[in-house]
Amino acid sequence: MDMDKPLSELTRNRLLHAGGEVFAERGFRTATVREICRRAKVNIASVNYHFSSKEELYASVLEYAYQQASSAFPNDPGATGEDTPERRLHNFIRNFLSRLLYEGRPAWYGMLMAREIVEPTGALDRIIERAIRPLHESLAGIVRDIVGEQTSGAKITRCVLSILGQCLFYRHARPVIARLHPSIHYEDKDIERTAAHIAEFTLAALRHLSKQGRKR
């Protein structure tokens, strides 16, 4: 989408796109309507005309980003019935990381979700039901397939949180990681490397739990 051609674009769409960028970069609170309008090259009153309020714009951006993300990054791309649970776990992790760390339009939702987790707004409940809970359940299914049915639900929950925590840390602590470990990058093959580590670390833990479960 070319921002230099105002005559060919609808104002509303431009606000959605600029809003996606700015909210993803800054989060809801720090993002300003003026910055969004500046990027969209529209008058500041347009936000209230088209969206009523900054909050409604944010809600609409979330909806739009969700639609975009659903097709670009499905939750469980490996669920073809042919992959092993181990492979599905690895795919899940790589997929989730890509959403969080990739910097382009389809990544808005991942970034918006990561921000919402640590800086909750009124939209948190909707994001939980729309994205986080399904994510959690999908991952829980994979974990259960690996550790077996004898492992308690509470234990599986803990494992899911451990996996999500590892992944999200690379998003949330990015400035810190950049300072402590400049060799860790965020291009495609680095995301692959990160996913491989998390998958290996996690699989080892899950196999241990699987054996633990079988001892009872």
Partner DNA sequence: TTGACATTAAAACGTGTGTTTAATACGATA
Partner DNA sequence: TATCGTATTAAACACACGTTTTAATGTCAA
Q: Is there a contact between 54 and 48 (Cβ–Cβ < 8 Å)?
A: no
| DSSP class per residue in 188-207 | HHHHHHHHHHHHHHHHHHHH
Does 47 sit near DNA (CB under 7 A)? yes
CB of 1 to DNA, least distance (A): 15
Q: Is there a contact between 145 and 85 (Cβ–Cβ < 8 Å)?
A: yes
Does 46 sit near DNA (CB under 7 A)? yes
Which of a second copy, DNA, none does residue 168 bind (CB under 5 to 8 Å by kind)?
A: a second copy
Which of DNA, a second copy, none does residue 49 bind (CB under 5 to 8 Å by kind)?
A: DNA
CB of 49 to DNA, least distance (A): 4
Kindly tell me the number of DSSP H helices and DSSP E strands found in the chain. Answer: 11, 0
With CB under 8 A as the contact rule, the residue among 157, 187, 188, 192 that binds a second copy is 157
Does 16 sit near DNA (CB under 7 A)? no
CB of 52 to a second copy, least distance (A): 24
Only segment of 48-56, 92-100, 139-147, 174-182 that touches DNA (CB under 7 A):
48-56
**Residues 6 or more apart in contact with residue 45 via CB below 8 angstroms:** none
The CA distance from 198 to 47, in Å, is 41
CA atoms within 13 Å, Cβ hemisphere of 150: 8
Does 184 sit near DNA (CB under 7 A)? no
Distances from the Cα of 142 to the Cαs of 13, 92, 154, 206, in angstroms? 38, 9, 15, 11
Q: What residues make contact with DNA under the rule CB under 7 A?
A: 10-12, 31-34, 42-50, 52-55
Q: What residues make contact with a second copy under the rule CB under 8 A?
A: 29-30, 117-120, 124-125, 128, 132-133, 136, 154-155, 157-159, 161-162, 164-170, 172-173, 175-177, 179-181, 183-184, 194, 197-198, 200-202, 204-205, 207-209
